[in-house]
Structures are given as C-alpha cells and as structure tokens.
A and B are shown apart, each in its own frame.
Chain A
Amino acid sequence: MTASCYSYYPGCSLQHRSHAYQQSTEAIARSLGFELAEIDDWNCCGATEYFSVNRLPAYALVARNLALAADQGAEEIVVPCSACFLNLHKTDKNMKLYPELGSKVNKALAAGNLHYEPGTVKVRHLLEMILTDIGVDRLKDRTRRPLYGLKLAPYYGCLVARPDSVFDSTEQPTAMDKMLEALGAQVVPFSLKTFCCGGHMTQISEETALDMIHRIIKCAADSGADALVTLCPMCQLNLDVYQEAANRYFETSYQVPVLFFTQVIGVALGLSPKELGFGQEFVDARVLLDKIQDVPPPRATPARRSKQALPMPAMPE
C-alpha cells in the first residue's frame, strides 16, 4: 500500500479533553498506511466563541492557519474536529464569496507578514477523507475483527453536516452509517443523528443543555443502540461527561458509551483498546468489546403483518 501524507490540523480539543480521538486517529493512520503531518505552529480556531462575539478578528485567527498551511505547501488539510472543520471551511469560503471581507482579513494577516489566497487549501474532514481516499471496500478488506452483533447509533451532530453539505446530506447523512456497516456493525435507525448536543450550552444554561443531551441519549437507547458513535470532540464531551448529570436531572439511568468513529475503526482493524484511548470515557466503553460476536447475527426477519392490517406498499429490500 502506498503511504500518502496529509497536512493535519488537530485542534486544541484533541490535545486536551479528547485525547482518545487523537490517539485513535494516529493509530488507524499507522494501520491503514497514511501519514498525518501537523501544520507547524497552528493556532486555535476560536471554536464558536470567537466568531460569535468578534467577527473580523475571528476570521483573521482562522486565516492564519490557512496561510501557514499554504506556505508549508499544503493543498489540502485534514481536520478531525467538527468545529475546527467548520471554521476553517467557512473562512476559506467566505473570504472568496465576500471579497471585501477577504481583503480585510488579508490586511490583518499582513501585520504578521502572511497572506492567504482563498481557495488555495482544501479543507477536509477526517471522516470524508477516510471514506473517499481509503474507501469502504478497503476498510472491509482490512477488517480483522468484524464488529458482528454490535448495534451502533451514528451521531453526526451539527458542524460537519451543516451549514454546507460538503460531502453528505444536511438532514440525513449516511457516510458514517455505510462505514460502520462495512466494519460489520449493525446500524440502528437513529432519528436524532444531526440534532445538536448543545455545544457550550452546559456553561450558559445547564437546563437547556441537559434537555438536549437527554433527548439524544434516550433516542439512542430507545433505538436499541449499544453505543453512540461520534466525530466531534464537543459532542463526545457533552454526551459522555454530562450523561450522569442528565441522568440525575431527568431521574433516568442510561449508560450509553460514546465513542469516536476512529476508535470503532481501530477495534475492527484489530488494534488494542489501550492504543485507541479506551478507558478515557466516563461511561465505560470497554463493555462493548465483550459484545462483539464471532459470527454475524442472523438477519432479523421482518415481522409478519397482521391479516387485519390495512394494505401498505412494500419496502424494497
């Protein structure tokens, strides 16, 4: 397999509270044979905080990363964090779409001897990169431990699906569904796959945030999922770390582990749980490993319809 090298923007969360995302990303990169070269001296993307109260400086903050990447010869950058992905993508897009904004941002960058020509660097999310460049078929080939019997709820959250449907539907994305199925897992129907986890709302109005977290956890549990699979550090933090608080507030007792999709790929590739950062989550995800079966579970036969039921059009298989 030819090793390909990608310019990589890890973002602050992966170095702090979502270390498991970083570890598992690096582990599957080694296993699948691609390299991630960190952009030298990258800075924080400002999350939602900077953009929401300080527009022009926020664009300049993010554009510094794009300028650095371009100067370091990158034509594309791979980003695992949803918020970083959105900010980098949005800055590149809006600098081009609104030339007046673009020239102001470049005026600010000039104060640091930098310049960025919008459109130079293509911003890609890690999930899209894995699905496009490696592909479902190769993931299937490389699977050493198929995730038979594991029922997973794919949770996309907001900022990869919206505002621009860069690589998938804004309302019903299926990229991660296909990937999880290729790894042998069973994807449960999960209607809140793009419902917001609340972002920073736990810090602003905890009741509002816990309501949103509770809805997602409940929906996943009601769908019969063994775990939620996410692609965003903020979503993982809210659904995992605040699950106990939501349980207390709503007097429930959910225990739904929340994994990064890279950890799930890693398990299927046969990598060790420790290498993938298992054990760093609040709701223990190691119980999932015991649920993986050696053979695929028999396909559930559709429930036979009652003879008294009204006629319905049949769903294609």
Chain B
Amino acid sequence: MTAPQHRNTFFDRVVAATPGGELLSRCLQCGSCGGSCPSGADMDHTPRALFAMISAGLEDEVLSSNTPWYCVSCYACTTRCPQNIPITDIMYTLKEMAIRAGRYDHPHAAKFSETFIGFVEQRGRSFEAGLATRYHLFHHPQQVIKLGIMGVGMLRRNRLPLRPKSIRQIDQLQAILAEAKALAAKEVEA
C-alpha cells in the first residue's frame, strides 16, 4: 500500500485495509456513486459524502452511518466511478471496522452476516433453513409468522431442505479459516 507508514489517520487505515484502497485519495466528489446506487435513497450518507467524511477524519460518524449496511453489493458505483475506486470493497472495510469498534447503529445487519458465516464455518456449506430460523428468532421475533408462511411455501416446492449439508474435510477448512483470522488480527495490530 502506498500510504506513508508514519501516519495512521482514519483515512490511512481505511485505505490500508482495502485491496486497491489507495485510489480513494483520487475521489473527485463527483457523486456518480450515489447517483448509481439503487439503495442510496435510504442511506444516511451517499458514498460520496461518506468519502468526504473519511478524508475529514470523522471516524465516529462514518462508522455509525447506515450507509455500508445498506450497500447491496451490486458494484454499480464501482464500475461507474471515473477514478476506479473500489467503492464496494471500501463499504466492506467500513463494515468490518464498525463491527470491531462496536460503533454501529444497525446491529441486525451485522448479525445476519454473522449468522450466515457461523453455518459456513461449522459445516462448510450455507444452510438457509437454519439461517432464517436462527436470525429471525433472535433478531426479528415479530416476523417469525410471516417468514413461516414463506418457509412453508418453499418447503412445498422442494426449495428448503431441512437437513444441512456438510463438506467432508471440515477440519481442513476450519484450520485454514483459523489461520486467516490470526493473520487478519495481526493486520489490525499493525
């Protein structure tokens, strides 16, 4: 990464944690990102505004913004950015930083990802019946009935197997993920 080592501003940390993140310094504030974003209307800040805030060092405000959590990973901003900034990946970095700092106002969005990841780490495959039940029971109990009706529809159409699948060499996968997490933790320290 090209960020000077002696500085360690919020901006530098965002850049260092994102593959290709150094391009962020080239942001023109043109707003193509926000204009292309299909969920931009529901965001606290458009990506453009968020990038200005990152440059200004407004760490608390950026990490508690709902913007990264409303990103739908469609990459429309990324392909249209005239400066080729990997905007979607920067949103991912901000999610990761917000979780670590415990400074986000949208815990259920993070919990959905974490519940999904939990099944993958346990079995090596995703498990939708389990994901839907666990996530909704803990985080949206009032929606369980609505979800149940949809679940029955899925079951009737053979689209929701109730038994999870697992890979054979789950130990190998878990060893790889543990090592990756250890490396990621070292990155954060540095």
* A41 close to B169 (CB less than 8 A): yes
B31 within 8 A of partner (CB):
no
If the complex has contacts A64-B173, A112-B175, are A94 and B159 also in contact, measured as CB distance less than 8 A?
Answer: no
Q: Mark B102-126, 1 if CB is under 8 A from A, else 0.
A: 0000101110111011001000111
If the complex has contacts A41-B169, A52-B92, A111-B178, are A241 and B78 also in contact, measured as CB distance less than 8 A?
Answer: no
Collect the chain A residues with CB atoms within 8 Å of residue B167's CB: 41-43
* A17 close to B19 (CB less than 8 A): no
A25 within 8 A of partner (CB):
no
Residues on A facing B (Cβ under 8 Å) = 12-13, 15-19, 41-44, 46-57, 59-61, 64, 94, 97-98, 101, 104-105, 107-114, 158-159, 162-163, 165, 170-171, 194-196, 198-201, 203-205, 207-208, 212, 241, 279-282
* A19 close to B159 (CB less than 8 A): yes
* A111 close to B179 (CB less than 8 A): yes
Collect the chain B residues with CB atoms within 8 Å of residue A204's CB: 69-70, 106, 108-109, 112
* B112 close to A94 (CB less than 8 A): no
> In the docked arrangement, what's the CA distance between A241 and B150, Å?
8
* A158 close to B124 (CB less than 8 A): no
Most buried by B among A47, A98, A201: A201
Smallest CB separation, B5 vs chain A (Å): 14
If the complex has contacts A203-B112, A204-B109, are A57 and B128 also in contact, measured as CB distance less than 8 A?
Answer: no
* B176 close to A163 (CB less than 8 A): no
* B117 close to A282 (CB less than 8 A): no
| Segment at the interface with A among B44-52, B57-65, B93-101 | B93-101
* B114 close to A53 (CB less than 8 A): yes
Specify the chain A residue showing the minimal Cβ separation from B129: A16
Collect the chain A residues with CB atoms within 8 Å of residue B179's CB: 60, 107-108, 110-111
> In the docked arrangement, what's the CA distance between A159 and B73, Å?
9
Collect the chain A residues with CB atoms within 8 Å of residue B169's CB: 41, 112
Smallest CB separation, A164 vs chain B (Å): 8
Contact of A16 (CB < 8 Å), options: B71, B79, B86, B159: B159
* B176 close to A158 (CB less than 8 A): no
Smallest CB separation, B14 vs chain A (Å): 12
* A104 close to B183 (CB less than 8 A): yes
Q: Of residues 160 to 190 in B, which have CB atoms within 8 Å of A's CB atoms?
A: 160-161, 165, 167-169, 172-173, 175-181, 183-184, 187
Collect the chain B residues with CB atoms within 8 Å of residue A42's CB: 167
Smallest CB separation, B74 vs chain A (Å): 4
* B159 close to A57 (CB less than 8 A): no
